[in-house]
Each structure stands twice: as structure tokens, then as C-alpha cells.
Amino acid sequence: MQAKHLISADADIFGGSRAASCVGAGAMRGAVLRNVRTPAGISSRFHHLHPTATTRTFLTQQDRSEAIQSLFRRVESKYGNLSSLLDTGPAAETIVASDGILHPHHLARLFRHEATALHVPGFYHPPSAARLGEELIKEVERGGGGNNWKVSTSRGLESSDVGTLGEHPPYNVAVQSGKSDDYFEGVQREFRSRRRSSGSDDGYQLWPLDKLRLELEEAWPSGAGLARETATDTKHNSQQHPRPFGGGLPRIMRGPTRWKRGFIHVDELGPLNASKGLFSANIYLTMPDASDGDAGGLHVWPLGVRSRWDWYKNALTLSSLSAQDPEMQMKLRHVLGEPNVIRPEPGDLVLLCTQRPHCAVGFGQGVRVSLQCFLQYSGLDNRLLIDC
């Protein structure tokens, strides 16, 4: 989902910045309603609703924000109908690759938004996955990490139900903390440390995220690899060569979680585009007790907003996908209806478009451990870029 540093007002609305979107709240609610640049052809549709929009002088930022919110409230009340934008048929399906293999045609369907999610059971050896999950839990107990995985909202970074382990924070946290160099240095340490087995005699291990990167390289026609800084980025630091972004981080949720039914969100806010998008990949290691319904499972809604006009018509409701607001969460559940339900087991891989609403279902007891990275898709003829 991406320009990583500089974005226009339109990007705030239709895609967000990677700095803001890496972990769970792509475009911020306030930014959506403040940084609006109406595309050509749409302003005439709004004129009868807000006839003075082109001539009014905004004396303060607050006045401007309130006027834009009022405009979008009127537009949504007259034209909005988010439920009508839910995909049906194949585009609403979760692909299940029961052979445990990533297939090019499955990836292409997902990336072109011709499916809602891709579930690969047994992608990583299940007993090995469970062992790694237990080792990561012990790492937290030894004081080796467990920092809260912050989400970006209109109020800034806010805590979530998810903790993260590793030698570096998620990229959005590093950027907003002004510690980009620390992030890139930590990325290298993380790669090296995770390939070392915790067993005394095993030496090295195939880290699940490394396996994912290798198999994406093999499966995707144009290959896959780590995203890197651009040449422009290196001009602003002391590095001679562009540095790679992280390949993913462990995520840990402990019960009882704050959001019992899960926090519905997107990691990037904007219309779906068949030629580009941001996708998440999660490899599951430990899951809470399955007897507790969908506890720890994944819900994904096949919402398919594919045009700017459809986005504008529902902008207020869509912007709530980045707000930790209980009232708006209830409204979203009512409007979005029943989700696709995925119940992963240790070793399973799930990929989804992070522009589609999704949530990890909460639970009262137990621990959920997964490994997550992001995939930047920019067309069938381009390399997939991996980051976190």
C-alpha cells in the first residue's frame, strides 16, 4: 500500500502513507477529513449540497475541518450505501490451498482483488511452528521484548491488543519516533538472530518468514524480495547504499484482550486497485483454546470499494476503520454484515488485502503468536516487495 515518506493530500485519502499504515490504521480519521482534494468531476455533484464550498474562506483549521465533515456527512446521508459495495461470488471467497503450497494463480487472484483472502494450511511444519511459538512466549517472559504494537490514529500512536518482539520496532513507530537509523540497524540484527536455532546443537533454522520470502520469490512470476530505501532516502542520511526494510516481526496477543470481538480496521484506507495494493502475510505459531468459538481467529469482510466516488459517498463510515471507537465498531459490524471466518492452526499462512476490513477475534485466556510482514504489489509484471 506505497510511498513511504512523502504523500499528497490525495494520498492521505486514497492510500495513506506507509509510515502511518504499517500496523493497523492506515489513513487517519482526522487526516481523511482535513486533507481533502476533490478530484475533477466530483465537485459538481457536491455543489447543490454545499453551494458555497468553492468560495468560502476558511479562517482556521478547525473551521475548515468542521465544514468538510459537514459536507461528507450530507453526501453520505444522501448517497452512501456501504453494504452495496460488499463483493459477492468469487471475489468474496477465501482461497484455501490445501496442499500447503503458494501457487501463482492463487496469488494473482488475491492481488487483483478477485478473492478476499488466501489461506495456506500447513505452510510451515506444524510441530515446528508450535515449538517456535513457545520459544517466543518464553522470550517475552525473560524480558526479551513484548513492546506494544502501536497503531496510527488521528490522535497519534495508540496502544493495541498486540505486542511485538524483535530487534527493531515496526516501521511506523520508528518513523514517528524519529529513529529510522535505529530501525534499519535493528533489521540486520533481527535477520541474523532469528536464523540461529535456540537449541544447543541445532546451529541454524529455517525461520518461517525466510521460508515465505523464498517461496514468494519462486512462486511469483516477477519474483519477490525485501523493499529498500530509495535513492532519495539515502541523500538524507549517511548511507552510501539503500538499506533493506524488515522482513517481518513476531506478534503476540494475550488474553483477556481489550476488544472481545476484535478491532475491525484496515492498514491502508482507499479504493481497491487491480494493479497495486498492500497485503499482509501472517504465519501462525500458537493459538488460544479453539473451544472458545472463533477465539484468536481471523475475520475478513469482502468490502470492495473500487472507485473514488464510492469512497467519497461513504467517507465518514470508512474513516472509522482507523478509529478505536466502540460506537463506530458497532456500526461497522452492522453495515458490513457477516465476515469470512478463518480459523488458523499452527503453521498456517494467511494472506489478505489490508484495504479490506479485518480483525483478530479477541479471547479471554491463552496466547496467540504469529509472524507478520507486508507485501507491496504493483502489477503482475513487477517484483513483490516485502517490508514491516
Query: Rounded to whole angstroms, how far apart are CA atoms 131 and 205?
Result: 12
Question: How many of the other CB atoms lie within 10 Å of CB of 119?
Answer: 22
3-state secondary structure of 15: coil
- Dihedrals phi, psi of 276, to nearest 5 degrees: -165, 160
Three-point CA angle 121, 127, 132, nearest 5°: 100
Q: Tens of pLDDT along the chain (388 residues)?
A: 333 332 233 433 334 434 333 333 333 333 333 333 333 333 333 344 444 445 545 458 888 888 888 888 999 999 999 999 999 999 999 999 999 999 999 999 999 999 999 999 999 999 999 999 999 999 988 875 556 655 555 555 556 678 889 999 989 888 888 999 999 999 999 999 999 877 656 688 999 999 999 999 999 999 999 999 987 665 556 667 899 999 999 999 998 998 889 999 999 989 999 999 999 999 999 999 877 678 899 999 999 999 999 999 999 999 999 888 899 999 999 999 999 999 999 999 999 999 999 999 999 999 999 999 999 999 999 999 999 9
